[in-house]
Amino acid sequence: MSKNKRFEKKWLDLFYTRVGDQFILSRNSLHNTHQWVITLALGLITAVLTLGSNTNSYPNEYGFLALLISFPLLFRFFVRSCLETSIQYKWMTIRNALDKYYFLSNHKDFRKQKVEDYLEETIILYYFDWKSPNSIWKIIWDNIRLAYFWPFIVLISLIIWGYFSLPFTFIITISTIVVGVYIIYEVSTFFTYRGFDFEETTTPDPDITNPIKNE
């Protein structure tokens, strides 16, 4: 098959529609997850700090346990947000490559071959091989910056306050061990998930912002 016929038009048109739908779905899912995180964190922190009498205000054992047990839930939301962000980046990268391909498809342009090479490699890497176009650290930072910075800071600060203020009872000790084991499991599976494997395309992302140059 010749280079200019490597993509079957019908398949590519259907694929473009699918990519657009999946990008919108991943963006909405990420937005909803962030909304849930903010609502959960504010509700939990408000409840722990306001419930109880003046002589039994936080830090108390029940409030501390509520925060401690809720931390894995917050971390699970964080993991889910990172997964959704990674998926969104995949679809966004593929969609942008498709946009460039369609933009130049009806023009005689010296960059068209580069755009086709980049699109082909992008589809293989981020769709079929399910690699990530961004590093896991960028994904983590983007989510912390967008929704998790203050929930993590406030929740961890309240937990540390409780640790230094309360005696280590049996239930606190057991709860700490269970939560710690769960967090270690979540972190280990998080960093070994193959969808976070970062790999850049060997073909540079073509710049088509300059005016079209006809041959």
User: Which among 71, 126, 128, 68 has a CA at the least distance from the CA of 97?
Assistant: 126
Between these two residues, 81 and 213, which has the higher pLDDT value? Answer: 81
Which pTM value belongs to this model? 0.85
Instruction: Calculate ∠ Cα 123-134-102, nearest 5°.
Output: 35
Q: What is the mean pLDDT of residues 196-205?
A: 92
- pLDDT over 70 at 54, yes or no: no
The pair of three-digit structure tokens given for residue 82, joined into one six-digit string:
């990172």
